[in-house]
Structure 1
C-alpha cells in the first residue's frame, strides 16, 4: 500500500513538473520580450540610441499585441506534447508574415511611411522571429530529451479489450518523446456492469493518472457511454481512441458539423488558410520558375519541331482535385501515333516510339516543364501526387485501397513519391501501391515546409532517375 502511494506521489510530481509552466503562459511573455528587445536593438543600429521615439513605442506595442493575438488564434500557444517542430515553426512563420503585412499596411494607410524606418521594421520582425523560433525548438528538444529519459511524464490509464490496449501501448512506446506513461490498465472482455464500473473508477482514482484513454472498437459504443458516465465526477482528461481496424484513414480528426461532433475519416488538410498558403506558394514560385525556364522551353520547342513532325506539346486529360478532369501539357517526346481506344501504353526502356530527343527529355523530366502553365492556371500544384492517365485510374482504383484519395488535392509536377525514387513505369501492382502510400502520406502530413523540402530535393535528385524513360 505504501509502495502504491509513493508511486502515485511520484507520478503526480512528474505531472506538476511538466505542466507547471505551460506554453500558453510562458511564450506570450517571451514573444513580447523578444520583439521589444529586437525593437531596441534595431533602433540602436539604425539611429544610434535606445531611447525610442513615441511612434516607435506605439509600433512595438502594435507588433507585440498582433503577435500574441494571432498566435492565440492559430493555436500556437496550446500544449506542445504532440506538436512537431515543423508545425511549430510553420505557424510562427505565418504569424510573423501576417504581422509584417498588417504593420506595413497600417503605416501605408496612415501615410506615415516617411516617419518609420523600413530597416527598423524588418530587423525587428526578423530578429524576433528567429529567436522565438529558436526558443521553441530548444524547449521542445529539451522536453523531449527529458521525456525519453523518463521525466516529465503524463500518466495514462488504459481501458479496453486486450488487443486494443496492447496496440495503443505499442504506439505510446514508439512515440516515447510525447511523454505518456501507463498508470494502469483495465482489460475488458465484455460491456462492464455496474460493479466493474465502480471498480474501474476506484482504480483510476488511486492510480494517479492524469488521463483516461478508452480504447475500444466502434461497435462497443455503449461501453464508452457507460465509462464516461461512471467517471462523471473525475477530473482526469478522458479520451476516446476508437479502433478503425484496417481502414486507411486520411488526415483523420474531429470536427463539429451542424452542431454535432464528427470524426473525420478522410479529409484534406489543404483547406481554409492552408489552401490559400499553398496557392500563394504556387503563384509566387510558379511564376518565378516560369520566367526562369522560358528560354529553355523555347530551345526545347524548336528542337522538337526540327527533329520530328507533329505538335510541340502533348495534351492529355488527367484527373485533378476532387476528381475533376483537366488537360495536362507536356513537351512531346514520342512520335505521333494512335493508341487503341481505352488503353494507354506506358513508356518502357528503349521504347521505339521515343523521338531522337524524347528519351533525354523524359530522363531529365524536361518534358514536364509546360505543366508550370497548369500550375498558374490553378489546375495543378508544384508539389502533389503525380496525375495518372484516366485509364490507369480506372484500372488501379479497384486494386489499390484508397487509390482515388490521391485526388483530394491538386496533382503536382513533383511529389513525395518522386523524390523517394518512385518515378517512371509502374509495371507492377506493388510499385503502384508504394507510390500511392507515399502520396497519401504527403496529403496526410502536408505543410509549407514539406513542400519546400520536396522542391529542394527535386532540384538535387528529382530531375533524373534511372527508372524514368
Structure 2
C-alpha cells in the first residue's frame, strides 16, 4: 500500500511540473504550441525532481509534523531542481532556447501547485482523522504530570493522525488518567496490550534520569516492529521551550540557549532597521525641537550617554536626551531617579514622563545595538547586582535590548526601589522571550504608541 501511495505521489508531482510548464507557456506566449526547445528542460527537471524530492523527505509521512515546514521543504526542493536544470542547460549551451520570463512563470506556477497539492491532501486527511479514521495508535510510557500532558496533547490534536491507546505511568502521583485511555501499572500487562492490539507507535515521556527504564523498554521491544520515540521531560533543567537541532551531524536538545530561532532574529533585524530609519525621518522636527529645549533648560550636553549590556552581554553606549543637571556620581554607583528628584530639570521631567527622552535610542537600533522591542537595558552596575539576587535575570540578554518591551507596556517601568519590582519586570521579560512572535512585537509597539508614552511610574 505504501509503495502505491509513493508511486501516485510521484506521478502527481510529474503531472504538476509538466502542467506548470504548459501553463507558463500559455501565459508567456498565449499559445500552447510555443514550448519549443524548452521540452528538454522540462524533461531534465522531472528527472531531477524524482531524485531530489525523496532526498528532501517529501514522500515520507508528515503525520503530526508542521505543515509550514513541509511547505518550506517543498519550496527548497523545487528551487534546487530548477537551479540544477539551469546549470545543466547552461553546460549544454542550450540556454538560448529558454525564455527567462517563461522560466520564472513555470517555477512559480509549478512550485505553487506542488505546495497546494500537499496542503489539500493534508486537509482531506485532517477531515478523515477528525472522523476517527486513519489514526495510528500510540502507547505512552512516562512519569506523572509529563506523561499526562503528552497524552492530553495527543487527545487534543486528532488531526495529527495519532490516538492514545494505552498509558503506563512508572511513578503515578494520583492524578486522573485521561478518559477512555487504559491505564496500566504492570509492565508485563502493558507490553502484552501493545502486542495484542497491534500498537505500532510507542512514546517514552520520561525524564533524562530514567535512562535505565528507557533501556529496559527498548530492550523489551527490540524484536518487535514498532516505532519507539523519546519525548524527554527536561522542564526542571530547561529555561525556555526546548528544541532539537542538528549539531555536527548529531541531534542536540537546547536546554539553555536563545529561544528565538534564526528566522525570528532575521525578522526582527529587518523590522528594526526599517522602523528605526522611518521613525528618525518622521520624528526629525521633534528631535530638533527637543534638543533645543534640553540645551536651553540647563548647562550641559544635549545627549546623555551611558554604557549598557546588549545581546550576549556585549557592551554598547546608549543615547538619551539629557533630563538632569550635570552632577558627579561615585565610581561604580548609579543613583536612580526618584520622585521629586532635584537633579531633574523641568524639561527633563516632561521628557521622562512621556518617554520622549528615549527617542535617540532609534540611533542605537539603526546601529544594530538595540531592537525596537525587547527587554529594557539597565545600567551595568544594576546588572551586576540583580543577576546575583534574581533568578534568570541574565537571560534577558539572550536578545537585543529594546526601546520598549512587554514589561513596560504592562506598567513595570521607572524606579525599581524594591527587588520585588525588578523581579516582576524580569518575569515579564522572560515571558516575552518564551512567547515571542512578530504579532506580539506589533502589539507592544501599538500599545506603546497608543497608551504607553505616559506613565505615573516614570519620573
Q: Please give the TM-score of this superposition, normalised by the length of structure 1.
A: 0.70
The aligned residue for residue 225 of structure 1 is 215
Q: 1:205 to 1:342 in 2, by over 3 A?
A: farther
Q: Deviations over 1:397-416 (max 9, x none)?
A: 4555444334334445677x
Aligned residues of 1:321 and 1:411 also touching (Cα < 8 A): yes
The aligned residue for residue 164 of structure 2 is 182
Aligned residues of 1:256 and 1:262 also touching (Cα < 8 A): yes
The aligned residue for residue 441 of structure 1 is 435
Aligned residues of 1:67 and 1:99 also touching (Cα < 8 A): yes
The aligned residue for residue 363 of structure 2 is 370
Aligned residues of 2:409 and 2:444 also touching (Cα < 8 A): no
Q: How does 1:388-399 map to 2 (within 5 A)?
A: 388-398=378-388
Aligned residues of 1:301 and 1:312 also touching (Cα < 8 A): no
How many residue pairs end up in the alignment? Answer: 428
Structure 2 CA distance for aligned equivalents of residues 102 and 423 of structure 1: 55
Larger C-alpha radius of gyration, 1 or 2?
A: 2
Q: How does 1:311-390 map to 2 (within 5 A)?
A: 311=301, 313-328=303-318, 330-332=319-321, 334-335=323-324, 337-338=326-327, 341-343=332-334, 345=336, 355=348, 358=351, 362=355, 366-375=359-368, 379-380=369-370, 387-390=377-380
1:425 aligns with 2:419: no
Q: 1:293 to 1:167 in 2, by over 3 A?
A: closer
Structure 1 CA distance for aligned equivalents of residues 357 and 39 of structure 2: 55
- Choose 342-351 or 120-129, whichever is displaced more: 342-351
Where does structure 2 lack aligned partners over 5 or more consecutive residues? 173-185
1:37 aligns with 2:41: no
Q: 1:384 to 1:103 in 2, by over 3 A?
A: farther
State the structure with bigger RCO (CA 8 A, min sep 6), 1 or 2.
Answer: 1
Instruction: For residue 46 of structure 1, report the CA deviation from its aligned partner.
Output: 1.6
Q: 1:456 to 1:146 in 2, by over 3 A?
A: farther
Aligned residues of 1:364 and 1:463 also touching (Cα < 8 A): no
Q: 1:246 to 1:262 in 2, by over 3 A?
A: same
Q: Deviations over 1:118-150 (max 9, x none)?
A: 433333333344444444444444434443443
- Choose 81-90 or 218-227, whichever is displaced more: 81-90
Tell me the C-alpha RMSD between the 2 structures. Answer: 4.7
1:158 aligns with 2:154: no
Structure 2 CA distance for aligned equivalents of residues 134 and 299 of structure 1: 49
1:82 aligns with 2:64: yes
Q: Deviations over 1:298-322 (max 9, x none)?
A: 4344223211125455443333333
Q: 1:459 to 1:403 in 2, by over 3 A?
A: closer
Q: How does 1:125-204 map to 2 (within 5 A)?
A: 125-188=107-170, 199-204=189-194
- Choose 90-99 or 428-437, whichever is displaced more: 90-99
Q: 1:238 to 1:250 in 2, by over 3 A?
A: same
Aligned residues of 1:422 and 1:435 also touching (Cα < 8 A): no
Aligned residues of 1:342 and 1:391 also touching (Cα < 8 A): yes
Q: Please give the TM-score of this superposition, normalised by the length of structure 2.
A: 0.71
The aligned residue for residue 303 of structure 1 is 289
Where does structure 1 lack aligned partners over 5 or more consecutive residues? 1-15, 191-195, 443-449
Q: Deviations over 1:2-59 (max 9, x none)?
A: xxxxxxxxxxxxxx8xx8987x777665555444333322221221222354553344
Instruction: For residue 439 of structure 1, report the CA deviation from its aligned partner.
Output: 1.2
Aligned residues of 2:312 and 2:399 also touching (Cα < 8 A): yes
Aligned residues of 2:320 and 2:361 also touching (Cα < 8 A): yes
Q: Deviations over 1:432-460 (max 9, x none)?
A: 31331121232xxxxxxx54x45655665
Aligned residues of 2:241 and 2:434 also touching (Cα < 8 A): no
Q: 1:265 to 1:283 in 2, by over 3 A?
A: closer
Q: 1:302 to 1:401 in 2, by over 3 A?
A: same
Q: How does 1:28-107 map to 2 (within 5 A)?
A: 30=12, 32-60=14-42, 78-91=60-73
Q: Deviations over 1:84-124 (max 9, x none)?
A: 44444455566667778888899999998876444333333
Q: Deviations over 1:381-407 (max 9, x none)?
A: 566655454345445445554443343
